[in-house]
Amino acid sequence: MSWPEAKEYFDGHDIVIVPVGSNEQHGPANPLGTDHLIAKRVAEETARRTDVLCLQVIPFGVSPHHKQFWGTVSISPKAFKEYIRETCLSLMYYGVRKIVVVNGHGGNLPALSDLARELRVQGVFMSVFQWWPAAGKLLPSLFAAEERRHAGAEETSVNLALHFELVNMSRAVDEAPRMHPTQAEGITLPLGTVDETSSGVFGKQSTASAEKGRKVFETVVDELVSHVEALKKASMNDLMEKPKV
Ligand SMILES: [Zn+2]
């Protein structure tokens, strides 16, 4: 898109889609880029179906818990949040008031949730979409619980559906995560992935299939399309922070 094309879009639209992800280990079979690659494809397909502009994917996220596995690139929550904030404020200058973040990595969510609340005060309504909780709710029986965790069969299936050439299923691993000896109900521990698995895979991965991945992709894109259409119609008055009662 050139700047006159951007001007034409922003003159008539106050909404954009921004994909964000991470670059972190997903076991020996999957590419490091899994989270940003999937976010990009979900965002682009949704943008195509809704005539909303999709920005370039922001590839690096908050992944310190994966650093012992080679190639992981991690950004602090503070720097990540500010980078996304300044991206959003640049768009606000051109009249954007509605931003749909397609987040491919759960570790980014606390920073994104904080930011969304702060931006709302400034007059920008930011929603965050994550494909895997949507898939868990909408396709509850497609995968077992042990297939739905980090780098498991569900995520690997989506990789197979979207970028088959980047997955090496001959290196697929099934690994039951280890329970830390201090773990108990109600306890949160500062563990890294390496404390729980040797391969980086949580649970079952070898049952992944491109066919199941396509089902997940279609289902989550349909869901996100309905959100984007609703957001397009919503009045800014209804989206902004309410005054005190
Ligand atoms: Zn992932």
- The radius of gyration computed from the CA coordinates of the chain, to the nearest angstrom, equals 19
Cα 188 to ligand 1 centre (Å): 21
Predicted pLDDT at 11: 97
DSSP letter assigned to residue 203 = B
Cα 39 to ligand 1 centre (Å): 10
Share of the chain above pLDDT 70, in %: 100
* Interval 216-228: pLDDT, tens: 999 999 999 999 9
Q: Residue 169's pLDDT band (boundaries 50, 70, 90)?
A: very high
Predicted pLDDT at 109: 98
- C-alpha count within 13 angstroms, C-beta hemisphere, residue 74: 15
Cα 37 to ligand 1 centre (Å): 10
58 neighbors 105 (Cβ within 8 angstroms): no
235 neighbors 180 (Cβ within 8 angstroms): no
* Interval 11-66: pLDDT, tens: 999 999 999 999 999 999 999 999 999 999 999 999 999 999 999 999 999 999 99
Share of the chain above pLDDT 90, in %: 100
169 neighbors 208 (Cβ within 8 angstroms): yes
Q: In what order do the strands lie in the sheet with 53-54?
A: 53-54, 15-20, 98-103, 125-129
58 has which bridge partners?
20
Cα 192 to ligand 1 centre (Å): 15
**Rounded to an integer, what distance in angstroms lies between the CA atom of residue 17 and that of residue 126?**
10
| Residue 206 CA: distances (Å) to CA of 91, 151, 173, 234 | 42, 10, 6, 43
Cα 196 to ligand 1 centre (Å): 16
How much is the pTM?
A: 0.96
Predicted pLDDT at 161: 98
Predicted pLDDT at 173: 96
Predicted pLDDT at 97: 98
Predicted pLDDT at 135: 98
Cα 53 to ligand 1 centre (Å): 24
22 neighbors 108 (Cβ within 8 angstroms): yes
Cα 10 to ligand 1 centre (Å): 32
Predicted pLDDT at 46: 98
Enter the tokens of residue 3: 């700047």
Mean pLDDT of 171-184: 96
136 neighbors 168 (Cβ within 8 angstroms): no
* Interval 96-128: pLDDT, tens: 999 999 999 999 999 999 999 999 999 999 999
Q: Residue 166's pLDDT band (boundaries 50, 70, 90)?
A: very high
Cα 21 to ligand 1 centre (Å): 8
Predicted pLDDT at 30: 98
Mean pLDDT of 133-156: 98
First to last CA, the chain: 45
- Per the listing, tokens 């563990």 go with 191
Mean of pLDDT over the chain:
97
